Structure 1
Amino acid sequence: MRRSMARALLGCTIVAGIPGIAFAQGQGNLEKLSGFKKTGTTDFEYVEQGGDYADGIRKTLQRIKLPEGFRIDLYAVVPDARHMAVGPQGVVTFVGTRKNKVWSVTDRNKDRVADEVKDFAPSLAFSVPNGPCFSRDGNLYLAEQNRVLNFPAAEFFYESPDVAAFEVIKQGELIPPEEESYNHTARVCDIGPDGKLYITLGQPFNVPAPEKAELYTTWGLGGIIRVDADGKNREVYASGIRNSVGMDFDPATGDLWFTDNQVDGMGDDIPPGELNHATAQGQNFGFPWYGGGSVRTNEYKNDEPPADVVFPAVEMTAHAADLGMMFYTGNQFPAEYKGAIFSAQHGSWNRTTPVGARVMVTRIDAEGKASAEPFAEGWIDENGEYLGRPVDVAQLRDGSLLVSDDLAGAIYRISYSKPQ
């Protein structure tokens, strides 16, 4: 399948360069773009949307199980597709990766299948540009490994290689440079009801050593921070979080909900994954004293945990790797899904029998109690082999649901029609 994906990349020139030089060039281009100057970049990298590779993905989708009335289709072939941000005007969806690309996905004729997938801002050098998110007034934010960028009017500028681009948090100032790691570097962002920018900062260890505590507490590593739209007034919003890669605000209450990936190496069935509910700034969600739910970590089992730990609203299947999530606000799905949380489980990497690789739905009752169940599943075959690994969920303006998959390199669209 990977060889097929390579053949699917057409009309592009791939240049291998020295990372340091590439970043320096990209930084110079960022300065030009911030001054509304041309960079001289003229070429895009386009991704072929048809052919055998796309047909192979469609074949996999035939095995996905959904509730009655729902269907899943291939929306776009998008290499390494991770978190998504649908433009407020519904023109384009931006898709991050854990590599060095951000993709723009456009459905020009509105047939709910993408017509064009090309790289965004090709003159810039990105480092793990996993987390795009939009403000209500059309500013696209991009949370990278150790930088945050802002692209005003991205839906307008994306058609050109040169786009308006500005640093919200400069390179090396999101986390301490000495804490940069290959592990747990996929950031996500969201705009809160207060207009501030919220960013998850996963800490790099399975369980960190105690001597890291002060540094991580200060920076918000292993937590969620928030800043003003211009990057000022940074503060830690929530702590005690191992590695959150998904969050959204409840449109009814304004509360923040987020997923968290829990400690490895404790066994197949513990600790549970987490869907958490934050009701105020300053809450602690238990890590590293707890490895997930109420399961104590071996490293901190003799230490007294904070007295006010907030335990998860929902305990998910252990090691299923809960990632992107969102509250459903559309009108296409049946009424029972209104206000429900859709979330993606990426799938376990070290469990004896694989679990996850599915989309979950979590409903919250009138008393605030939440319960989760599978919504779309079937990406693990009879041999225990992954045919796809969902990462994120996003909502189109018509109320249908997009699901990204970084293994298959695709985005799917889940729609609903009332059974006859």
Structure 2
Amino acid sequence: MKSKMNAALRAMPLAAGSVMLAALSCAYAAQDNVGTLSNFKQTGNNVPAETVPQTGQTAEALRNNLKQIKLPPGFKIELYAVVPEARHMAIEPSTGVVFVGTRKSRVWQVTDRTHQRVASDVVQFASSVTFKVPNGVCFSPDGVLYVVEQNRVLGFPAAQFFGEGGPDVAAAVVVPQGKLIPTQFESFNHGARACRIGPDKKLYIALGQPWNVPSKDKLAELDKNGLAGIIRLDQDGKNREVYAHGVRNSVGLDFNPKDKTLWFTDNQVDGMGDDTPPGELNRATKAGENFGFPWYGGGKVRTADYKDATPPAGVVFPQVEMAAHAADLGMSFYTGKMFPEKYQGGIFDAEHGSWNRTKPVGARIMYTPVKDDGTAGPTEVFAEGWLTSTGEYMGRPVDVQQLQDGSLLVSDDYAGAIYRISYANGK
């Protein structure tokens, strides 16, 4: 196994000049550690990684809250893990270890050691590395964990094994710090990335732009760098290109395993009213398509800033118009067999919930069937109850991912948890 991990690591580019980073100021300590880890050397960090208790009052309160969740007949929801600030998830293909990104500075490693479909332990992953908004996590089929930060991409081969050893892990720089987007576009707004490995084995990354609606003088540079879009690149960081244009802020994407098309959620323009414009679930059939932003704020609703500007030719409108301001984020195609046939081959996505609506909406899991011709059928609510009748959030779902047994994991950054949805009559 060691030779395979060495080969995987050698295939990734190291940051230029990493061997000299020890001489730099502490402001570059994170990059220094990555350079050290890239060479299978220890950083000297002896501080134990943070662990999260899986029993006690917090766990019991979360289980009690789940009694309010409504699901179709035959389904049940249970607490899988207590995970602070849990955002996007990546499930390691062979062991089922779940890696969880956050919008803060930590990535979590969640392990079910007895395969009873509940976490045995939750520990901070790669604590020798100082992450910045490591929201996007995804696995390659051959077991490399990619972590997409606000402005950097790192690769971790055999993360589930190295992560057991403590703060130091094998790591490599795929996109160096400050090179994912131009640094002048770094912002706390729309800085959480999402990623997937495509059927072409390339790494796809959704890059939100930092404004509600950008000014016209910013468009060319945003588009050139793939902001307000989705980029793809080789897994070693080379051959970067913009795959999809006109995407305001996508924080969820996946590929249809049947026809290999890319689907993604997109969050609409704020401040246009409670019920407009709609959120989006989109389908990209080829590279270079434009999905309408900022000429359109969501669906076919024009923005005030660009109402007199001519949109690009051939704008692709969404497959599904979702509830306005429900904030559809992470999504996954369901490829398992546990759920009834109705759900097989369809899309589950997480609605995070509104922040700027007179009456809140969202905080639920939606289901969209995909028809034989590859287009979307009618969307329906699958799981709800995190938003109470009095408008109080008990939780805010972020991402949905499928375990090997066909059950569904749901992350919740507000409650700090991961839930597992299973079907009682499933195999």
* TM-score range for the pair, normalised by the shorter chain length: over 0.9
Q: Does 1:75 align with 2:80?
A: yes
Equivalent residue for 1:209?
215
Question: Structure 1 runs of 4+ off > 3 angstroms?
Answer: 20-23
2:203 & 2:287 partners in 1: Cα distance?
14
Equivalent residue for 1:401?
408
Counterpart AA for 2:333: F
Structure 2: runs of 5+ lacking an equivalent = 1-23
Counterpart AA for 1:138: G
Q: How does 1:145-184 map to 2 (within 5 A)?
A: 145-160=150-165, 161-184=167-190
SS in 1 for 2:369: strand
SS in 1 for 2:379: strand
The answer on whether the counterparts of 2:279 and 2:327 sit within 8 Å (CA) in structure 1 is yes
The answer on whether the counterparts of 1:90 and 1:396 sit within 8 Å (CA) in structure 2 is no
The answer on whether the counterparts of 1:202 and 1:244 sit within 8 Å (CA) in structure 2 is yes
1:309 & 1:362 partners in 2: Cα distance?
22
SS in 2 for 1:158: helix
SS in 2 for 1:203: coil
Equivalent residue for 2:104?
99
Q: How far is 1:366 from its partner? A: 2.2
Query: Number of matched residues?
Result: 400
Equivalent residue for 2:69?
64
Counterpart AA for 1:389: R
1:91 & 1:48 partners in 2: Cα distance?
20
Q: Does 1:25 align with 2:32?
A: no
Equivalent residue for 2:323?
317
Q: So what's the TM-score if we normalise by structure 2?
A: 0.92
Q: How does 1:1-400 map to 2 (within 5 A)?
A: 23-42=27-46, 43-160=48-165, 161-370=167-376, 371-400=378-407
Equivalent residue for 2:4?
none
Q: How far is 1:41 from its partner? A: 2.0
Counterpart AA for 1:164: A
Q: So what's the TM-score if we normalise by structure 1?
A: 0.94
Post-superposition Cα deviations, 1:78-106, rounded to whole Å, max 9, x if no partner, equal 00000000001124100000000000000
Post-superposition Cα deviations, 1:196-255, rounded to whole Å, max 9, x if no partner, equal 100000001000000001101110100000001100011000000000000000000000
Counterpart AA for 1:387: M
Q: How far is 1:21 from its partner? A: 6.8
Counterpart AA for 2:229: G
The answer on whether the counterparts of 2:229 and 2:242 sit within 8 Å (CA) in structure 1 is yes
The answer on whether the counterparts of 1:362 and 1:373 sit within 8 Å (CA) in structure 2 is yes
Post-superposition Cα deviations, 1:151-200, rounded to whole Å, max 9, x if no partner, equal 01112211012111001000000000111001000001100111110000
1:410 & 1:155 partners in 2: Cα distance?
20
Equivalent residue for 1:8?
none
Post-superposition Cα deviations, 1:320-357, rounded to whole Å, max 9, x if no partner, equal 00000000011111111110100000000010000000
The answer on whether the counterparts of 2:274 and 2:357 sit within 8 Å (CA) in structure 1 is yes
1:22 & 1:204 partners in 2: Cα distance?
28
The answer on whether the counterparts of 2:96 and 2:403 sit within 8 Å (CA) in structure 1 is no
Q: How far is 1:28 from its partner? A: 1.3
SS in 2 for 1:264: coil
